[in-house]
Amino acid sequence: MTSFGYTLMTEQRGPRDLVADAVAAERAGFDFEVMSDHYFPWLDEMGHAPYAWSVLGAVATATERVGLMTYVTCPIMRYHPAVVAQKAATVALLSSGRFTLGLGSGENLNEHVVGRGWPTADVRQEMLDEAVAIIRELLAGGYVTYEGKHYRVDSAKLWDRPEDGVPLALAVSGAQSVNRYAPVADAMVAVEPLPDLVEGWDRAAGADLPKIGQQPISWGPDTDAAVERAHSLFRWFAGGWKVNAELPGTAGFAAATQFVRKEDVASAIACGPDVSAHVEAVRPFVEAGFTHVALVEVGGEMQPDFLEFARTELLPALREEYGEAKAPAIAGRAR
C-alpha cells in the first residue's frame, strides 16, 4: 500500500499561492505534502523561491490532516543545525505533530549565498553527520553544548518542542549514504526508484521504515503544451543530482541543459491528459518498495486545475491501482 503526496514546489509558486495549494491538496485527498527549501529556483523560468519555513508555518495552521515534510532542508551552511532544530520543533507544534524534518547535504545553488564556498562531497557528509547529531539532541530536550570539527553549540535549548520529538528523514543516493544514515534516521528520502536503496536501507536500519520518493508529472489538457512546459521548467533534472549539487546558479543550469531536447524530457516525465500515463509514472517507486510517493505537477499556474484533476480522477485511479494506505502519515520509529 502506497501513500500519495503533493509537492509544494517553492521554485514555481509564490507564498500565498503555496498556502492556498496546500489547503486545496488536503481537500483533494492527498495523504501528505512535502515542500522544497531553496534560496534559488533551478532555472530563471521557474520564477520563485520564497522562504520555505514561513510558508510552512502558514500551511501548518491552514491544514488539519495531511502530514508535512521538508524535501529537503540542508542544515550545513545556510542554516546552522541548532536553528534548524528550533524551526522544526516550532512547525511540529503548529501542525500538532504532523511534521517530519527531511534533511540532506544540499546544493551549491542555494548554499553559496552565505559566501563560505562549497565544500567537497565528503566534507558535506561530515557536516551533515554533525548536524544530525546536534538536531537530534536538541529535539530530545535539555541543554546542549557541542564542539565538533565543523560546528559549535553553546548551551542551546529548545523551550518549545513536541514531547515526542520530530521524525528525521535523511536523503540518500547510494550504498554509502544508506549505510551512513539508516541507523540514525526515522525515514528515507530518495529521488530515484532503486530497489537496492530500499533493501539496503531496511537492512542497515534494522527496521521497515518509511521510504519517500518524488515523481514529477506534467498534466494538462494539451499534450504538446504539457511537453513544452516540462521542457521549459524541468529540464534541469537531466544532469542528475551529482551534477546538480555542484552548479552555482541558474545560469549554470541553463548552460548545462541547453542541449536537452523536448523528447528527452517527455521520456522521463508523463505529459498530457492521460490518467493512465500518470498512474504508470509512479509504478517504479511502488515496485521498488517506496511507501510514500510525492507528486510534482510542473507549472505554477497549473496547480489549481491539477488539484481538481487529482481529486476527481488521479487519486482514485492511483488507489485503485496500488491500494489505499492504512497509515498514510509519514511516521518513523519511536526513539
pLDDT at residue 329 above 80?
Answer: no
Q: pLDDT class for 326, splitting at 50, 70, 90?
A: confident
Annotated catalytic residue within 107, 130, 137, 297: 107
pLDDT at residue 327 above 80?
Answer: no
Q: pLDDT class for 53, splitting at 50, 70, 90?
A: very high
CB distance 322 to 35 below 8 Å: no
What is the model's pLDDT at position 34? Answer: 98
Residue 68's SS3 state is strand
Residue range 88-103, pLDDT digits in tens: 999 999 999 999 999 9
End-to-end Cα, the chain, rounded Å: 25
ω into 243 cis (within 30 of 0): no
Q: pLDDT class for 243, splitting at 50, 70, 90?
A: confident
User: Is 48 an active-site residue?
Assistant: no
For residue 179, give the C-alpha cell: 549505510
What is the spatial distance between Cα 19 and Cα 24, in angstroms, rounded to a whole number? 9
User: Is 107 an active-site residue?
Assistant: yes
Question: Strand locations in the chain, DSSP E?
Answer: 3-8, 32-35, 67-70, 99-103, 144-147, 152-156, 168-171, 187-189, 211-219, 270-272, 292-297
Contacts of 189 (CB under 8 A, 6+ apart): 71, 72, 102, 104, 169, 170, 171, 172, 212, 213
Residue 53's SS3 state is helix
Q: Would you give the distance in Å from CA 286 to the centre of its chain?
A: 17
What is the model's pLDDT at position 199? Answer: 97
pLDDT at residue 334 above 60?
Answer: no
pLDDT at residue 335 above 60?
Answer: no
Residues 300-324 have a mean pLDDT of 97
Residues 131-138 have a mean pLDDT of 98
Annotated catalytic residue within 38, 112, 231, 292: 38
What is the model's pLDDT at position 129? Answer: 98
Torsional sign, CA 236, 239, 243, 248 = negative
- High-pLDDT (> 70) share of the chain, %: 98
Residue range 177-223, pLDDT digits in tens: 999 999 999 999 999 999 999 999 999 999 999 999 999 999 999 99
Total H helices, total E strands in the chain: 15, 11
Contacts of 276 (CB under 8 A, 6+ apart): 317
What is the model's pLDDT at position 219? Answer: 98
What is the spatial distance between Cα 247 and Cα 111, in angstroms, rounded to a whole number? 11
Residue range 12-50, pLDDT digits in tens: 999 999 999 999 999 999 999 999 999 999 999 999 999
Give per-residue burial for 32-68: e unless 16+ CB within 10 Å, then b: bbbbbbbbbbbbebbebbbebbebbbbbbeebeebbb
For residue 66, give the C-alpha cell: 495531511
